[in-house]
Structure 1
Amino acid sequence: MNAAALSPDATRLRAIRAALAAIEPAVWTRVHGADGAYVESRGEMGELFVLARFDEATIDEIAFVTDAPDTVRFLLRLLDAAFREVRQLRGLPEPRRADQQRGEPMARDVKNFAAECAMKCQDAAFKVFLHGVHGLEKPLTDERVAQKVRSLLGVQSRKELNNGGRASEAWLALRGAFDAWRKAER
């Protein structure tokens, strides 16, 4: 279906998806400091950026802003599931997305981020990356690497990476930062 044939709602939905993709991984955190409340975001290399400051917002308003990316992801997953079910009930084929047409793997096709993370934690180059970029202290043991990764991702267990949401998005960002670092090191 071409863009001219899209309904206004479909056009708006496409714009929402593009806006979310533009800010990924969108790991936002609510912070309360001496200067008041604010929302910060973690960059690809672990750096922190202040996204918004609040002077007279309620806790609920701040939470609403902070949770916005996760809320949008959740609602998009619900819509996708509903659209799939409607197409299935009507006997319609599943449409191909742009990433499928280019033959690229999709993030949601990779289900076991925990296993992928465990393998990366044993990779010598990944250990050096964590040491140089994220301050992992020597000796670079598998256990220290695993603990550092859990800390960076904000999880208690790597199994949480398979649940979607912030943990998997943070893993994708860390994995992407490692890949970029490795390319830059060559």
Structure 2
Amino acid sequence: MDRQAEASALRTVAAHVDALDGDRWQIAALGSETLVDAVGPDNSRVTILTFTAHAKPEEIELVAGALDHARIMLGVITRAKKVLRAADGEGGQPLPRPSDTAQQATRAKKNHAAEAAMLCERAAFRNWLIERHGLDLKGTADDAARTARAAQKLRSLLGVTSRKAINEDDAVRDRWIALRQDYYATAGRGQG
């Protein structure tokens, strides 16, 4: 469902909920059947749905709670819109952003060196290194030799003698992340 269809459906739900303002739905029993009654603001009661004995309790509770659930969802959406408006500077303080140190800590925890090693094993990454950075695989007969050559090229591009420097040096890590992003942007994910 696209956003316009979602917005239209949401407006319809909101209109229905508004029309039922003051009403509540309750579960009642009549013999082996389970009923859902609409109870009006004046305590008038009308049966709006009858379940057979074969209905699961979860089905009954879900349907009987639909009006309350819709009210909750609409309230959540209204509050979320307020928060987003505040974040955009429309009448409130912007949402707090993660600190640079928190972002750096997250980036440092990831084992980028292992990720680099795994990418060097992928044919798609090696082909990208050939096309974008002149990796030469001539004379390499097997996959292990191609992987080793790709790792050597990667170390050269990053200006390091060992891939573990990616995890230990912020500048090297930043160069790795930029190179990896360029790979994914130009070669695409899921290849190789």
Same-fold status (TM-score > 0.5): no
TM-score, normalised relative to structure 1: 0.44
Which structure has the larger Rg over C-alpha atoms?
2
